[in-house]
Amino acid sequence: MTAVTAAMWPEQTDRAAVSTMDAAEVAIAADAADAADVIVLAGGTGARLDGASKPDVVARGLRLLDHVLAGLEQLRTQGLPLGRVCVVAPPEVALPCGVLRALEDPPLGGPVAGMAAGLELLGRSHPVAGLTGILTCDAPLSWQALPALHRALAQAGPELDGVCASDGEHTQYLLGLYRRRALAAAVAPGGVPLRDTAVRRALGTLRVRAIPTARDVVRDLDTWAEVHSWDSGRSE
């Protein structure tokens, strides 16, 4: 079961929310196969942050989650065919109007279960986008990879199930763009969401090409030391 709510940032209006949703629907209707919904994973226990809510951690003047959401809206205004945005997060995490919320049931089932919950929710909308982007809230610049990933997947054709970022050492499955049906089959085989499953084990079954991506874009912030370093403007 997927919990769905839409919370409001104090500075946002209902008009802005309607505008965002309208833009998403227009993008999908124009070419559903080419449009991309985006799932932002923002759950977890924050164990390496002393139990802090990772999406609510503030750095460079914004919550980590807000960096990602603002970046997605910037890409939308620049013409990237983005559909709906769904954040996988508990209800305590505030979301702007127009952004959907999903959460695996029961919670804390891991990122694979979170992706399945997001896909299930997005699948209720019509038309359904043919592509799904996966980002995490703790990689605040990860949204910058989406245009290159979108181009790479379009050029690759149907022989690939998706593309994802690579920092030169690791394939970053949680910074990727996937064909929706292939991703759904990987994270919820037979319609049953996987829980407590390693991301590499689930998505490693897909035909995926790794795309070299700048380290600062791939960079995730798992500890307070990493948060403070990024907040101060230091590169890795």
Q: Distance of alpha carbon 235 from its chain centroid, rounded?
A: 23
* Choice among 21-25, 42-46, 197-201 with the minimum mean pLDDT: 21-25
pLDDT at 9: 43
Confidence at 19, pLDDT banded by 50, 70, 90: low
Confidence at 15, pLDDT banded by 50, 70, 90: very low
pLDDT at residue 5 greater than cutoff 90: no
pTM: 0.88
What does the pLDDT average to over 77-85? 95
Which pairing describes strands 162-166 and 171-179: parallel, antiparallel, or unpaired? Answer: antiparallel
Q: Counting Cβ atoms within 10 Å, is residue 121 exposed (0-12), middle (13-18) or buried (19+)?
A: buried
pLDDT at 233: 86
C-alpha distances in Å from residue 103, one per residue of 28, 45, 225? 23, 14, 28
- Asked if residues 63 and 99 have their Cβ atoms less than 8 Å apart, the reply is no
* Structure confidence by residue, pLDDT tens digits, 202-235: 999 999 999 999 999 999 999 999 999 999 987 6
pLDDT at 182: 97
pLDDT at 236: 62
Domains within the chain, CATH numbers bracketed: 14-231 (3.90.550.10)
* Residue 87 CA neighbour count, 13 Å, CB half: 29
Q: Which helix or strand (DSSP H or E) is residue 86 part of? A: strand 82-88
- Asked if residues 80 and 147 have their Cβ atoms less than 8 Å apart, the reply is yes
Residue-averaged pLDDT of the chain: 88
Confidence at 175, pLDDT banded by 50, 70, 90: very high
Helix (H, G, I), strand (E, B) or coil at 195: coil
